[in-house]
Amino acid sequence: MGMKLLLADDHLMVRKGLRLFLQSQPDIEIIGEASTGLEAVTLAEQLQPDVVLMDLIMPEMDGIEATKQLKQKYPGMKIIILTSFSDQDHVLPAIRAGAEGYQLKDIDPDELIYTIRAAFNGKSHLHPLATNQLMSHMTGKDEEETLFEALTKRERDVLREITLGKSNKEIASSLYITEKTVKTHVSSILSKLNVHDRTQAALLATKKHWSGE
């Protein structure tokens, strides 16, 4: 069964890029494009899409208000937020407004398709950073603590070694694992902690007193 999809983003090139990719999917029909939040609400009322791919920051009306209005009128309409913001000030209001999905614009195309299909089938799918924000809010822990808890025991061991300034070769020797395994762990650590390099990881671990874990 195919789905009707509405694109809402104030950047023409973003909409063009999304259309180019999404219209190649056999189960997705793009029935309209909106460049403002108000236009998104108006078009959604007229065209009745199954799924709306909604930007957050748009003229006339932001994506959160547009989502809220549409979900109040059409509870069955699925809305996925596609944005550049992953902080609580954006994630939590969007979820409260009724969005079924929350993804960042650097998302892998296949992951976006998965999110759209999940929403169409009544399932929520959030970017890991959005999930972390929700978990932080629910547990009362700050975001960084939630990120740290996502690390495995071995990754925490590697992180502790990183804070001591050790190279991959030295870490491998200390933990009795291969350099290749260390490299894999380091890559995973940087991704989970949302930092760009091992120096940032070490600074964060030291600041949060994780090196003693």
**pLDDT digit string (tens) for 184-201?**
999 988 888 888 888 888
Write out the residue range of the structural domain in which residue 83 sits: 3-138
pLDDT digits (tens, 9 = 90+) for 73-116: 999 999 999 998 877 778 888 888 999 988 888 888 888 999 99
Verify that 29 and 89 share a domain, yes or no: yes
Q: Is the pLDDT of residue 135 over 80?
A: no
133 domain residue, yes or no: yes
Residue 143 lies in a domain: no
What is the average per-residue pLDDT within 153-167?
90
CA gap 162, 133 in Å, rounded: 26
pLDDT recorded at residue 152: 87
**What's the pLDDT at 213?**
45
Q: Greater confidence, 21 or 137?
A: 21
Residue 49 has pLDDT above 90, yes or no: yes
Which one is predicted more confidently, 129 or 20? 20
Whether 144 is in a domain gets the answer no
Could you tell me whether strands 28-34 and 51-54 are parallel, antiparallel, or unpaired per DSSP bridges?
unpaired
- Identify whether 124 is part of a domain: yes
> Of 114, 138, 162, which residue constitutes the final position of a domain?
138
- The 3 state secondary structure assigned to the chain is CCEEEEEECCCHHHHHHHHHHHCCCCCEEEEEEECCHHHHHHHHHHHCCCEEEECCCCCCCCHHHHHHHHHHHCCCCEEEEEECCCCHHHHHHHHHHCCCEEEECCCCHHHHHHHHHHHHCCCCEECHHHHHHHHHHHHCCCHHHHHHHCCCHHHHHHHHHHHCCCCHHHHHHHHCCCHHHHHHHHHHHHHHHCCCCHHHHHHHHHHCCCCCC
**121 and 53 in a common domain:** yes
29 pLDDT higher than 50: yes
Q: What is the pTM of this model?
A: 0.62
Tell me, yes or no, whether 145 lies in a domain. Answer: no
